[in-house]
A = this chain, B = another copy of it.
Amino acid sequence: MYYETRARSLLKTISWRTWATITTALLVLAFTGRFELAIAIGSLEVVAKLILYFFHERAWAKLKWGKREMPAFVLWFTGLPASGKTTVADMVHEELLKRGLKAERLDSHDLRGLFPETGFTPDEVDNHVRRVGHLASMLEKQGVVVVASFVSPYRESRDFARRLCANFIEVHMDSTPEACAARDERGLYEQARRGQIADFPGVSAPYEPPLHPEIHVAVDSLAAEEVARLVLQALKPGRNGARAKAPHLARVQHQQS
A interface residues, Cβ below 8 angstroms from B = 1-4, 6, 9-10, 12-14, 16-17, 20-21, 24-25, 28, 33-35, 38, 42, 46, 49-50, 53-54, 57-58, 61-62, 64, 100, 102, 104, 111, 114-115, 117, 127, 130-131, 134-135, 138-139, 141-142, 144, 240, 242-243
Contact = CB atoms under 8 A, between A and B. Distances in A.
Copy tally for this chain in the complex stands at 2
* Chain A, interface SS category: helix
Contacts of A9: 54, 57-58, 61
Contacts of A135: 134-135, 138
A224 to B, nearest CB: 26
A146 to B, nearest CB: 9
Given A138-B135, A142-B142, A242-B61, A24 B42 contact: yes
Contacts of A17: 46, 49-50, 53
A240 B139 contact: no
